[in-house]
Amino acid sequence: MQTVKGRAQALVTRGNQVLMVQHCVGDEAWYCLPGGGIEVGESPAQAALRELREECNVIGTIAAPTGCGMQALAGNSAPPVAAPTVCDARVSFAATAPA
């Protein structure tokens, strides 16, 4: 059986700059768009705005959807299983934020 985890993220730009969030675990650090899991009863757009507020303390508005995709999460598939057991479904939205 395959599990799909829904995630939403916000793409906020100002000029040629993109708002990113830094995540750190141990000695590793990486940047990604503000976003996270979609909660029960929440639309993807609502989730993107909630995550933008929680992670960046920014109150934004949705401008337009920008894309969606799905990827298998690493390490969740072992032979003889042909398909991964967990997939990450992402929906991205362009968002605006006050200057």
Q: Are the CB atoms for 40 and 89 separated by under 8 Å?
A: no
What pTM does this model have?
A: 0.76
In this predicted structure, what is the pLDDT of residue 90? 80
> Average pLDDT by consecutive 10-residue portion of the chain (99 residues)?
74 92 94 92 92 95 88 54 60 85
Distance CA 28, CA 41 (A): 34
DSSP state string for 24-49: EETTEEEEE-SEEEPPTT--HHHHHH
Question: Between the CA of residue 39 and those of 1, 5, 52, what are the distances in Å?
Answer: 21, 10, 14
Domain with residue 31: its CATH number is 3.90.79.10
In this predicted structure, what is the pLDDT of residue 32? 92
CB neighbourhood size of 49 (10 A) = 22
Domain that holds residue 14: 3-96
Domain count, the chain: 1
In this predicted structure, what is the pLDDT of residue 83? 53
